[in-house]
Amino acid sequence: MPKQKDKRPTIRDVARQAGVSYGTVSRVLNSHPEVAADTRVRVQRVMEKMGYQSNLGARMLTTNRSNLIEIIVMDVHFGIVLPRMAQYIDAAGYSTLYAECTLETFAHTLNTAAARLVDGILLYAPKLQMPDDELLSSCHGIPIVRRDYVLDSKLTWVGFNQEHATRLVVQHLIDLGHQQIAEITGSLNFINPRLRHDAWFNLMKTQGLEPGPSYTGDYSTFARAMKTGYMGVCEFLKRGESFTAIMTVNDYAAMGALSALHEHGLRVPDDVSIVSFDDDAIASYLIPPLTTVYFDFDIQNKLASQFLLEQIDDPDYKHHQHVLIPDLVIRQSAQPPR
Amino acid sequence: MPKQKDKRPTIRDVARQAGVSYGTVSRVLNSHPEVAADTRVRVQRVMEKMGYQSNLGARMLTTNRSNLIEIIVMDVHFGIVLPRMAQYIDAAGYSTLYAECTLETFAHTLNTAAARLVDGILLYAPKLQMPDDELLSSCHGIPIVRRDYVLDSKLTWVGFNQEHATRLVVQHLIDLGHQQIAEITGSLNFINPRLRHDAWFNLMKTQGLEPGPSYTGDYSTFARAMKTGYMGVCEFLKRGESFTAIMTVNDYAAMGALSALHEHGLRVPDDVSIVSFDDDAIASYLIPPLTTVYFDFDIQNKLASQFLLEQIDDPDYKHHQHVLIPDLVIRQSAQPPR
DNA sequence: ATAATTTCCGTGACCGGTTACGAAAAACTG
DNA sequence: CAGTTTTTCGTAACCGGTCACGGAAATTAT
């Protein structure tokens, strides 16, 4: 038995107070033109005075819309994604639902989203590779935008060119004179680690260099990414691999690597150079400050939400795949090898 | 004009298919006892087959409940809070709404929450000091739990004993032999920084020591906390303050401080000791690993959600204020002064 | 076999909005 | 000023559930 919530005034209460019919109040609510200017303000004043707020349940029932946008995050737990998105969603007058899921619970999550009459879905699923038609049919017709780099999808997505990002890193290291470039990355069934791994491998090969050792680990939280970075270095050293530079999957992994290298008496960048991805805020506060690839997540979030909102409003929306181009931010963690 | 969403089967569609009345389907849905076992399974099978999901809008309209819990975060932008909470909310069969706000937009946020028939609110507002009755009246009768340490509130909250936390830090440093203990903390109109500042000040005084220099700055995002830590140290050094230890508001501030000290040629812990709060995952990967106060946020989140759920179900719920006791995690950033 | 219970289920009213329809009032026409 | 058009607004039906009420069927008692 839920605690008694306030009984909120309804449109009929407002109508009575304002001396009009509930239909008129509804028209005022939806700013229909067919209502006289003075009655409009009269009704608005009464709504104001009574603290009227239209009941979402009732509105959902008739309009089949909820004014809700759901952010679904799959397989990872970066709290970061959310607030930045929510800001744009709020600004457009929607509220933000948040759900985390895995591949197994994905269908269920989408079902409840449909039952909630969610108006749109922002999907961040860096591991999900699902054919368009399957994804669409799971969505029950709810517009969806992916905040990922999904080359094989014709649906709307916004992502960063990972091949280019990798090239920035590898080329920078090669230009500095590195020949033995190791890699610490995420599990290769994640999209980005896979693309970067392949790009790294091919770039090395085409330059006539042997790809250095590679370590993959969990990077689905910051804590795990740090651990992966740490373990990667330990593993390399234990195996006696030789390398003069490491490319890490993100700045937190770099932080872990830094820590492990330090423990083993190796100096960065004197003994080993590190270049990573993301340019998270921590990058410039690490010792040494990290050379890293800057992904403008703000733009990504903004575009993803914007595309979703457009898609919600426009019944014959043309899907676009938007590729963002990252930049390299050169700080001090990568220097010529000794 | 929104894109055509799937037309979902209704309770009457299911009834027709199953050869019963819609009332019976409703009873099955809500697992009322007055329905024969075999018709129950028959209806369930049909629901299954048709992929029936009850329409939330309709349900909200009649029950005045939404199965939605809203997390409201005020004045800060730590994405971290959310996912941990959401997990417990999900487990209880609710969905999570997320909203950020400021003091100005707080009332509006609560109004839309009420319009959405939100069943409960988890409030994380480390700056908000609002009398109980005012807070309650803003809430339109929606149960609310604060994930904060709010000594002056009789409503339900879950927080960490900040005075104790501070004592752990200060006493540890004093025990190591430090006498000049500086503080880098957040703006003092935040609850925790204020409490810690006062505790630090009083502890020093009662031990006959002069409180060291104090710097306050923005710590409402990780990036800003790092900057505050960095600027704090720079400021101390510029002013020629003397100190042998610093207490920082959180691990990210400590990281910023570490970076600034390093730039000025000061070693941690050789020249300066650092102790901070939170025991974020980064603490053990910093160089040196941080001595820091461990707050078990997992417990906090769990209890906060649990109390909220209890409050939602129990009409005459007795508010409780739950105080959690933090521990000190000793690593290497604090050592006796030279 | 009939009456008294008990079990199960169909019906109708309602929740608070939206919207199509049409009527009344106002404004315009000649 | 009657006739026509336009503006404004009231009414009813509906969205898809919930729930109280009461009747039919099944069960038990007499």
The beta-carbon neighbor of B140 closest among A5, A77, A317 is A5
B87 touches chain A (CB under 8 A): yes
Model pLDDT, residue A82: 78
| A303-334: burial string, b at 16+ Cβ within 10 Å, e else | bbbebbbbbbeeeeeeebbbebebebbebebb
Residue B27 and residue A47: Cα distance in Å, rounded?
37
Across the interface, whether the CB atoms of A56 and B51 are under 8 A apart is answered: no
The answer to whether A328 and A160 have CB atoms below 8 angstroms apart is: no
Residue B12 and residue A165: Cα distance in Å, rounded?
54
- Percent of chain B exceeding pLDDT 90 equals 93
Look at the block and give the residue holding tokens 């960048």.
Answer: A269
CA separation, residue A199 to residues A162, A171, A183, B254 (Å):
8, 11, 11, 37
Decide: CB of B31 under 7 A of nucleic strand C: no
Task: Give B317's contacts in chain A (Cβ within 8 Å).
Answer: 3
The beta-carbon neighbor of B8 closest among A59, A114, A259 is A114
Closest alpha carbon to C1' of C8, residue: B35
Q: Can you say whether residue B126 is alpha, beta or left, with left for phi > 0 and alpha for psi between -120 and 50 degrees?
A: alpha
Model pLDDT, residue B59: 95
- pLDDT in 10s for each residue of chain A, 338 residues: 334 555 789 999 999 999 999 999 999 999 999 899 999 999 999 999 999 999 999 999 999 999 999 999 999 988 777 778 899 999 999 999 999 999 999 999 999 999 999 999 999 999 999 999 999 999 999 999 999 999 999 999 999 999 999 999 999 999 999 999 999 999 999 999 999 999 999 999 999 999 999 999 999 999 999 999 999 999 999 999 999 999 999 999 999 999 999 999 999 999 999 999 999 999 999 999 999 999 999 999 999 999 999 999 987 899 999 999 999 999 999 999 98
What single-letter DSSP state applies at residue B288? S
B64 touches chain A (CB under 8 A): yes
Residue B32: how many other CB atoms lie within 10 Å: 12
Look at the block and give the residue holding tokens 């999209």.
Answer: A191
Q: How far is the CA of A37 from the C1' of D17 (A)?
A: 37
> Is pTM beyond 0.75 here?
yes
B259 touches chain A (CB under 8 A): yes
Task: Name the 3-class secondary structure at B328.
Answer: strand
A64 touches chain B (CB under 8 A): yes
Across the interface, whether the CB atoms of B100 and A90 are under 8 A apart is answered: yes
Task: Provide the strand spans (E) within B191-287.
Answer: 214-217, 245-248, 273-278
Across the interface, whether the CB atoms of A82 and B98 are under 8 A apart is answered: yes
Task: Give B313's contacts in chain A (Cβ within 8 Å).
Answer: 1-2
| B247-262: burial string, b at 16+ Cβ within 10 Å, e else | bbbbbbbbbbbbbbbb
Task: Give B97's contacts in chain A (Cβ within 8 Å).
Answer: 68, 95-98
Across the interface, whether the CB atoms of A57 and B66 are under 8 A apart is answered: yes
Closest alpha carbon to C1' of D9, residue: A24
| A212-229: burial string, b at 16+ Cβ within 10 Å, e else | bbbbbbebbbbbbbbbbb
- pLDDT in 10s for each residue of chain B, 338 residues: 334 555 789 999 999 999 999 999 999 999 999 899 999 999 999 999 999 999 999 999 999 999 999 999 999 988 777 778 899 999 999 999 999 999 999 999 999 999 999 999 999 999 999 999 999 999 999 999 999 999 999 999 999 999 999 999 999 999 999 999 999 999 999 999 999 999 999 999 999 999 999 999 999 999 999 999 999 999 999 999 999 999 999 999 999 999 999 999 999 999 999 999 999 999 999 999 999 999 999 999 999 999 999 999 987 899 999 999 999 999 999 999 98
What single-letter DSSP state applies at residue B74? E
Task: Give B281's contacts in chain A (Cβ within 8 Å).
Answer: 221-223, 226
B299 touches chain A (CB under 8 A): no
DSSP string, B241-257: ---SEEEESSHHHHHHH
A116 touches chain B (CB under 8 A): yes
A142 touches chain B (CB under 8 A): yes
Euclidean distance between the first and final Cα of chain A, in Å? Answer: 72
Look at the block and give the residue holding tokens 């903390």.
Answer: B185
Model pLDDT, residue B182: 98
What single-letter DSSP state applies at residue B209? -
Residue A268 and residue A271: Cα distance in Å, rounded?
6
Residues B252, B258, B261, B262, CA torsion sign: negative
Q: How far is the CA of B51 from the C1' of C13 (A)?
A: 28
CA of B167, closest CA in chain A: separation in Å?
28
Beginning with the edge strand found earlier in the chain, give each strand of the sheet holding A214-217 in spatial order: A214-217, A181-186, A245-248, A273-278, A291-294, A327-329
Residue B233 and residue B38: Cα distance in Å, rounded?
73
What residue type is assigned to position B142 of the chain?
A: I
The residues pairing with B124 across neighbouring beta strands, listed in sequence order, are B73
The answer to whether A97 and A71 have CB atoms below 8 angstroms apart is: yes
In this structure, are strands B327-329 and B291-294 parallel, antiparallel, or unpaired?
A: antiparallel
What single-letter DSSP state applies at residue A9? P
Task: Give A9's contacts in chain B (Cβ within 8 Å).
Answer: none
Residue B108: how many other CB atoms lie within 10 Å: 11
What residue type is assigned to position B245 of the chain?
A: A
What single-letter DSSP state applies at residue B124? E
Model pLDDT, residue B8: 87
pLDDT digits (tens, 9 = 90+) for B279-288: 999 999 999 9
Model pLDDT, residue A79: 75
| A264-292: burial string, b at 16+ Cβ within 10 Å, e else | eeeebbeebbbbbbbbbbbbbbbbbbbbb
Residue B98 and residue B77: Cα distance in Å, rounded?
12
Model pLDDT, residue A243: 97
Model pLDDT, residue B81: 78
